Amino acid sequence: MGLLRPAQHARRCICVAVLAVFPVAAAQTSATASIDADVAAVVQHEHLPGLAMAVVEQGRVVYQHAEGARGDGGRIDQDTLFKIASNSKAMTAALLARLVQQGKLRWEDPVRRHLPGFRMHDAWVGEQMQVRDLLIHNSGLGLGAGDLMLWPEPNAFTRADIIAGLAHLKPVSSFRSRYAYDNLMYVVAGELAAATGGKPYDQLMREQVFEPLGMTRCQVGTWSVKRVGNVAQPHAWRGDHNTVVNADGAISPDLPSMAAGGIRCSLRDMTRWMQVLLDPALAPGWLDAEQRRTLWTLHMPMPLGERQRRWDNAHFYGYGYGWRVSDMDGQWKVAHTGTLSGMYSSLALLPERKVGVVMLINGEGEDARIALMQTALKRFTAPDEARPALAYLAELKADQAMRAAGGHQRPATSEARPTSDADLPRWQGRYTDPWLGPASLCPGKDGLRFSVDKSPRLEGAVLQLQGRWLLRWDTLGEDAQAWLQPGEGLAPTLDLRAIDPDIDFSYDFQDLHFTRTGDCPGSDHQRR
């Protein structure tokens, strides 16, 4: 899921065997040995199933490392494909920059010039939104608004559904006034690229980005997992071991989320991506100086957090086109992260130093990527202040423990009890939400069940817990559970609220409002 995910809870340790280390130099330097030590410690502490990492300096690959299990019986190497998640956004932005450079659109063009059907809840905003606005999270929508049309996958929502749904998502702030991370606008950006480029988004991405840059393993659109091969599978920590979750089928489908977070690439591909971004001479004419500058210009200010000030000595923070832009120890930093269930990526550049760091993880790697990226970059920005990765990890864990001690934690649900057909009689029936569509609250074999028609994984049991109604999804983790809140008005309604204060923001349950439309299928009586 999107982008940009909350920290996970403390985990038990396991050891993961190293598959391979690919030092560039003939002899391993002390710096390389130090990174190796950090990687080994974090992999063990955070029980990562697999990790791939590279560091580029002055155009050279000075560190490259791959280890662990793919999840299909094979081992990770530098050609293993990972979901890069929201690091796809920078590639979508680069595709649009190519189309601007080719004269097929302008950043200032109204979106509706190229997508006449585009609408927002506020008609004026829909008319005024420009191409550039799609990339900088300034739409006025709330954090992750509408993401339930993208995730969990698979689902039956199309890109047309997603664009149509925007008209029903109510803003929480005025247009261009505030930053709030937004995946749906990147879906729109992908469709706009297709409209102006005259080809589907996936074809354009291959022709305009992957092929010119030599990113030969990257995959987008529909592709054969079996034919391509060497594909990492996402993992989750279950009890005392990692287990594969949401494994690929034989075919990876054409996902509506492609432009926002649906691309897969290997460590070798991502290393090449960094090298070209840092040195235009490696791909002459691919992007001119104006477009490169535009991508990395701070267009939308973002809140600067206390930890960022303390760790990075940062003074500014904001969003470019597909990139987060900030300063670190007096140096310019351009970076992004990517998160989908069981997959984490992180990429950061120090353009003035021609330094880049990338890592790809196929497990629960939120804290791992933060700690490893911090210690890797610090070696370049402030070597005297650099600390081992475990020191940064310890700070993250202490912050999480403090939040939990203050009551900021998910309530225990082990005592929740099943419901029966007699529960919530007035509210049983068929429902609809303006953008998520039809849903049901109906009796099942083991009590009441709630389900969303177009999102098969949003199906689960309704339980009772301390006088409240709990939704325990069949295939999603405990962190995704939600409260089901029946409305008390004349007409039956249902609202959902997350039970976990640190829930992934793409579970935007708070934006849903279901209105009853009829009886449950097969019901032999009217609503009581």
CATH of the domain at 471: 2.40.128
DSSP 470-506: EEEESSS-GGG-EEEEE--SSS-EEEEEES-TT--TT
Cα–Cα distance measured from residue 206 to residue 34, given in angstroms and rounded to the nearest whole number: 37
Q: What count of other Cβ atoms lies within 10 Å of the Cβ of residue 22?
A: 14
**Two tokens, residue 421:** 């057909």
Q: Tell me the CA distances in angstroms from 483 to 308, 420, 501, one per residue in order.
A: 33, 17, 12
Residue, of 341 and 320, whose pLDDT is higher: 320
pLDDT in tens, 77-105: 999 999 999 999 999 999 999 999 999 99
pLDDT digits (tens, 9 = 90+) for 148-207: 999 998 899 999 999 999 999 999 999 999 999 999 999 999 999 999 999 999 999 999
Whether residue 43 lies inside any domain: the answer is no
Confidence of residue 497 (pLDDT cuts 50, 70, 90): very high
Domain assignment of residue 274, yes or no: no
Task: Tell me the average pLDDT of the chain.
Answer: 93
How many other C-beta atoms can be found within 10 angstroms of the C-beta atom of residue 98? 21
Is residue 348 predicted with pLDDT exceeding 50? yes
Question: Which tokens belong to 110?
Answer: 């109204």
Q: Round to whole Å and give the CA distance between 36 and 209.
A: 32
Total structural domains in the chain? 1
Contacts of 517 (CB under 8 A, 6+ apart): 429, 430, 431, 432, 438
Helix (H) or strand (E) holding 394: helix 389-405
Is 465 inside a domain boundary? yes
Indicate whether this model's pTM tops 0.85.
yes
Residue 408 is predicted with a pLDDT of 83
- Domain for residue 116, yes or no? no
Please give the Cα distance from 93 to 319 (Å, whole number).
12
Determine, yes or no, domain membership for 347: no
How far is CA 279 from its chain centroid?
27
Sole residue written with tokens 């949003």? 458
pLDDT(107) > 90: yes
Contact 234, 151 (CB under 8 A): no
Say if 498 falls within a structural domain: yes
Mean pLDDT of 266-275: 98
Would the pLDDT of 22 be above 70?
Answer: no
* CA separation for the pair 195, 259 (Å, rounded): 14
pLDDT digits (tens, 9 = 90+) for 429-460: 999 999 999 999 999 988 999 999 999 999 99
How far lies 436's CA from each of 123, 169, 428, 433, in Å?
Answer: 20, 10, 19, 5
The domain of 493 spans 417-518
User: How far is Cα 501 from Cα 289, in angstroms, rounded to an integer?
Assistant: 43
Q: Which pLDDT belongs to residue 273?
A: 98
322 pLDDT tier (thresholds 50, 70, 90):
very high
Strands 317-319 and 324-328, bridge-based pairing: antiparallel
Q: Are 67 and 40 in contact (CB under 8 A)?
A: no
Q: Which residues on adjacent β-strands are paired with residue 83?
A: 264
What crossing angle do the helices spanning 30-45 and 366-381 adopt, rounded to 10°? 160
The reported pLDDT for the residue numbered 409 is: 85
- What does the alpha-carbon distance between residue 386 and residue 391 come to, in Å, rounded to a whole number? 10
Quote the DSSP letter at residue 150: T
* Mean pLDDT of the region 21-43: 72
| Residue 99 in domain | no
Question: What Å distances lie between residue 62 and 108, 368, 436, CA to CA?
Answer: 40, 21, 47
Tell me if 448 is assigned to some domain: yes
- Measuring CA to CA, how many Å separate 345 from each of 88, 270, 341, 362? 10, 10, 11, 9
